[in-house]
Amino acid sequence: MSDTVPRPEPFDPRTDPAVLEDLRARLRATRWPDAPEDAGWSLGTDLDYLRELVAYWADGFDWPAQEAALARLPRFRVPLGGLGIHFVHARAAAPAGGALPLILSHGWPDSFWRYAKVVPLLTDPGAHGADPADAFDVVVPDLPGFGFSDRPTGPPLDSVAVAGLWAELMGVLGYERFGAAGGDLGSHVSRYLGLDHPDRTVAVHRTDAGLPVHTGDPAELAPEERAWMADAMTWGAAEGAYAAMQRTKPQTAAFGLNDSPAGLAAWIVEKLRSWSDCGGDVERSFTKDEILTNITLYWLTGTIGSSMRMYRANAAIAPAQLARRVEVPSGFSLFAGDVVRPPRAWLERTTNAVYVAEPPRGGHFAPFEEPELYAQELREFFRPYRAKAAG
């Protein structure tokens, strides 16, 4: 490891118009599949909806405007572990030495996009009707192989390795102690920050506990834990085909998804609909512009394949790692519309769970679906740990 401290550099990408013209040409040339009459979303992405979305993507969606909006976030890249890591670094609006450093980790199928709405609510709570003393210095990295972070050219990195990179990133930014929060893959990364860097991670907040893994005697589990595991198996049988593909043969799917923007949109929008609190209408949770901003980030960066490979890496994590208990203070906000919501007994079995809340709205993408509620949850949970971070 070099003695030279990596230096973050400002990052403000602008897409070549020729790249956008190629995208539009591909969209207009989509070779559409057939679908049974009235299939709707029952077999996967609805054909009629995707036709509508693709038509708007080709002829109505204004990517340069969305790119400019994302550029209002202070964004950087820094070399870490042989990879260029892209991240948002937004400091508290009125720092007085009390802002808590907080690293937010996203999941799949998204990127730093997941937290785009919530960053100003966290850095400047006073401007949004909350206590200014609850301000955070916010860091939102793109996971390796996602968004504008480099794609690993060798074996994909698992959540344990990414947690190590994030600890290094926070050190580069001058944060000795910090809070960690995340959902989906980011929940795993945040968990390993608490497990492997407990001297630096003052507390961990998560919106899920992942899918259950228990290698002991099922009789040890409470009835609600056994019921949750059964529910998770049922969910996996009905909804888990994507994960089986991504943790076993991700490269096979990557050929089609990286070549066809309509195919990419189908793969992603079905998850936005299934996992959000939208009641079956994806545009109750996301506008078309918001959906397409997320998908266009995948298209322009060519990262659908590399993002899926992280599932393969995580599937190889040793069971002993999965069985470790998080001892740093842990909080959970289990949003009403999320999938596979764990019982409190499981959270207390696997973590030092000091905070469990159940916000009434929001799903798997809660920071984007319900940014005000999500920000409120983070302020509430981390409030007791601010002095610990400063000490």
Catalytic annotation present for 184: yes
Q: Are 224 and 343 in contact (CB under 8 A)?
A: yes
How far, in Å, CA of 29 to CA of 262, rounded?
A: 10
Omega of the bond prior to 261 within 30 degrees of 0, cis?
Answer: no
pTM of the model: 0.96
Q: Are 305 and 70 in contact (CB under 8 A)?
A: no
Catalytic annotation present for 242: no
What local confidence, expressed as pLDDT, does residue 327 receive? 98
- Active-site residue, selected from the candidate residues 46, 110, 150, 184: 184
Q: What is the set of domains in the chain, with CATH numbers? A: 9-390 (3.40.50.1820)
- Active-site residue, selected from the candidate residues 242, 298, 311, 385: 311
What local confidence, expressed as pLDDT, does residue 391 receive? 59
Among 32, 213, 208, CA closest to 107:
208
How far, in Å, CA of 83 to CA of 335, rounded?
A: 34
What local confidence, expressed as pLDDT, does residue 1 receive? 43
How far, in Å, CA of 275 to CA of 366, rounded?
A: 10
Catalytic annotation present for 231: no
How far, in Å, CA of 385 to CA of 391, rounded?
A: 10
| CA within 13 Å, CB half, 75 | 22
Contacts of residue 80, defined as CB under 8 A and 6 or more positions apart, other chains included, come to 6, 165, 168, 169, 172
How far, in Å, CA of 214 to CA of 258, rounded?
A: 36
How far, in Å, CA of 156 to CA of 145, rounded?
A: 8
- Active-site residue, selected from the candidate residues 46, 208, 364, 374: 364
Strands of 9-10's sheet in order across: 9-10, 75-80, 83-90, 136-141, 100-105, 178-182, 201-206, 326-333, 351-357
Scan for tokens 């961990």, then name that residue.
204
Encode the chain (391 residues) as per-residue pLDDT tens digits.
446 889 999 999 999 999 999 999 999 999 999 999 999 999 999 999 999 999 999 999 999 999 999 999 999 999 999 999 999 999 999 765 689 999 999 999 999 999 999 999 999 999 999 999 999 999 999 999 999 999 999 999 999 999 999 999 999 999 999 999 999 999 999 999 999 999 999 999 999 999 888 888 888 999 999 999 999 999 999 999 999 999 999 999 999 999 999 999 999 999 999 999 999 999 999 999 999 999 999 999 999 999 999 999 999 999 999 999 999 999 999 999 999 999 999 999 999 999 999 999 999 999 999 999 999 999 999 999 998 777 5
What local confidence, expressed as pLDDT, does residue 310 receive? 98
Q: Which regions of 81-212 does DSSP assign to beta strands (E)? A: 83-90, 100-105, 136-141, 178-182, 201-206
3-state secondary structure of 27: helix
